[in-house]
Every structure is written in C-alpha cells, then in structure tokens.
Amino acid sequence: MNALRCSRTGILFPDDYVENWGKKYGIGLGPVPVSEALVNLYDGHEASGQGEKKSFPVGVCRAPLSFITVSEATFKENAAIIASDDINMNARAEVMRSRQRAHKRI
C-alpha cells in the first residue's frame, strides 16, 4: 500500500495525507504538508507533572515527507496517531511519555 513517511521519525501517514492537508490532517500547521508527528523537547526544558503523568514537553516535528510503498502490516505497526483523531492528545501523550521513560529521561 502507498503511504507517506516522516523523514525524522519514520512514522507513516495515509496516502491521502497531502490531498486532505488542512482538512483532516495538519490543521493549523500552514499550507505546506509536513509531518505532524510529535517529538520530545528535551533541551532547555524540564519535565513537569507527577507520577505517571510526568513528561517533557513535545512539539510538532514538521519534517518533510516521502512517498513509499509498504505492506499493510508495516503500515499498521508504524501508523501515526492523527491529531484530529486524538484531539485531547491522550493517546499521543502516552506514546511520548513511554518513549521518554525508555530513554531514561523521566
């Protein structure tokens, strides 16, 4: 299947990502389609929160995208959680906290 890959994170986006930019994807990120994947902002920032909710801030990656062909299984394993599907950022925040714990940052 066709997909778009974030050049920084490797996260995969659906093949209609560019076509629906500003409608379903990338809302508020400007006119040029870029990766809406999140990245951890460690440098110059402190972790905040308590217990399991403690985390460093995150930001939108905004890296370039490239078209690729992948298997459906690979897409499912590496698919982005789309911002418009996770408005309150619950699912994406947990992913980012788990990455921070894995890298022993929190």
Instruction: Determine what percent of the chain is predicted with pLDDT higher than 70.
Output: 99
For β-strands 38-40 and 58-60, DSSP reports them as antiparallel
What is the 3-state secondary structure of 46-76?
A: CCECCHHHCECCEEECCCCEEEEECCHHHHH
| pLDDT of 11 higher than 80 | yes
Q: Report pLDDT for 106.
A: 60
Taking the CA atoms of 28, 13, 94 and 96 in sequence, report the sign of the dihedral they define: negative
| pLDDT of 14 higher than 70 | yes
Sorted by sequence, the CB contacts under 8 Å of residue 6 that are 6+ apart come out as 12, 13, 35, 37, 61, 63, 65, 80
What are the tens digits of pLDDT across the range 60-81? 999 999 999 999 999 999 999 9
Mean pLDDT, rounded, for 44-64: 89
Q: Is the separation of the CB atoms in 80 and 71 below 8 Å? A: no
| pLDDT of 95 higher than 90 | yes
Reported pTM: 0.88
Q: Where do the domains of the chain lie?
A: 2-102
Sorted by sequence, the CB contacts under 8 Å of residue 2 that are 6+ apart come out as 15, 67, 68, 69
28-32, 45-49, 54-58, 96-100: range with highest mean pLDDT? 28-32
